[in-house]
Structure 1
Amino acid sequence: MSSPILSIENLNVSFKTSKGIVKANEDVSLQIREGEILGLIGETGCGKTTLGKAILRLLSGKAKLEGKIMYRDKDLLTLPEKEMRLLRGKEIGIILQNPSACLNPVLSTGKQIAEIYRYHEIMGKKEAEKKAGEMLELVGISSSRGCDYPHQFSGGMLQRVMVAIGLAIRPGLLIADEPTKGLDPDTKLQIAELIVGLVRKENASMLLITHDLELAGRLADRISVMYAGEIVEMGMAEEIISSPKHPYTLDLLRSLPGKGFGTVSGHPPSLVSPPSGCRYHQRCRFRFEACSLAHPALRELEGERFIRCLLSEKGRRKETAAQPLLTLQPVLRCSEEGIWRC
């Protein structure tokens, strides 16, 4: 097993707002290993993008971060801003969603890529522009289009430009935040396979942030499922897809086109005042009384499979003797065919 390139330990991210404190990420712990692609899955607003930006400290000054984010032997939360600027793009790259809003509309795409080489590699203008042209060719765009501006590109081509920017300095870790959002199915797959192919070629690591469970299952090595700011399930991608252990993961799978476009009742909870107990219990078809009272911890089952659910625990914990309600409940079983208690 390879060592982790990034280790997040008990991360809490919160924001002060007029409505109260938004707890965007709570007690998040995960690792990304050398050469590994980790998929981070969840609905819009669950805290995925916040986590991605927290790693590079790209959140607003209103954000409060607690915990540890270790990149190799560096704690990114305590690193001086001067060192963070040198690390961003060079050691950890990022592909942000919505490239039309991220790219500078008054600079050509070639110049925007060349800026990275001029800052991190201290290259001259001509050499940097040559390298920018090579990156455009690498992502399937003619180097002659380096003189074109963002508005002259289609959505798929803009996404390729973002890939070129994210991978320009060959970072050890790439954060790809919804890299296929808003693209048609064919283009989406092309972009996703392009990113993964380049990452694999460089033996780099990647955090793939997406709401598309099918895409993550196809491209990622492991998957972490996030709901309302918390990790609720984590394991090998093929195991998550074939045998989900958390009701939320199962509902996500049932919503896929090939699974019948199933819907989940209700809405995600407020991150200002999340419900007591399990945060998914108000929408869960298999909830029982204890689900609204006891907040489940993220526990390891076996083989690096983690689950945050009272129903899916293997056997009864000794400490539940003080909670007789739990000991009376059958264990949840999940499979492709459905979910039941026995």
Structure 2
Amino acid sequence: MPRDRDSTVRCPSYTETQNFTHGLKFFHMGLSDDPELQPLLFGLFLSMYLVTMLGNLLIILAVSSDPHLYTPMYFFLSNLSFADIGFISTTIPKMMVDIQTQSRVISYVGCLTQTSIVTLFGCLDSLLLTVMAYDRFVAICHPLHYSVIMNPRICGLLVLVSFFASLLYSYLHSLMVSQLTFFMDVEIPHFFCDPSQLFNLACSETSTNNILIYFMGALLGGVPFTGILFSYAQIVSTTLRVSSTSGKYKAFSTCGSHLSVVCLFYGTALGVYLSSAVSHSPRKGAVASVMYTVVSPMLNPFIYSLRNRDIKSAVQKLLRRTA
């Protein structure tokens, strides 16, 4: 049976860890141990996964196939959909396999890979939302210079910088996790290899790693969120100075979808943090994390398509051509 951190068994040395790293196994405890709930969970998450994949793929195909959508806003939106596909595809398929096979085992390398990819796409989501907020800021506050500032080269550079910053953050995260020492078998009270849970379950000293994780999290989470708040503060200030009601409505309507997605992403992430801090129950934290790992990527395409006539028109044209 897997041992917890309070076990009296000594933590293996670095040399011993090197010898059994390839045999180290992790066990996902999932969302529930009730056998009667497993078919329901499988069907629910399979449906949510298929809806998420379909919605985000339609956004990407619609943007790429319609010349009217060759603008910075929709370019960033298609990249956000790609990040959402990568984010949800890292966790949900493995969880469905665990439910179907009743195994819940993941190897050390598999767990480390899953941690890296989750961190990569989670960070990329945050940075792309910041870039999209900057795009709206330039469009509303500096409309005469929009085509000059947000030219295709700058847009591509912003996406590349976001990707490589996320890749660096993911690499540093994985490097710290790879330095941790575990017992031979580890039970993770989650449906994927959550980095924070791995730090809690390690039997080696993690105080320095925790400080670095919080620092990097504040840097790559707090700074983008602050940038979004600053952009919208400037947008609101500029919009309130517009004299016509129709002009105000048009300005706010162009930001409505993005603001909804920002609130959904950061609101659910903050809710997971607060729920885990209050309840002190890892299993409840795993249930709460479904909101930002599954629900948020699933709802993003609907938020943009339902509130955006251009996207709806492009999707309808795409479906007609396909039919």
TM-score normalised by length of structure 1: 0.23
Q: TM-score, normalised by structure 2?
A: 0.24
> Relative CO higher for 1 or 2, CA cutoff 8 Å, sep ≥ 6?
2
- Structure having the higher helix fraction is 2
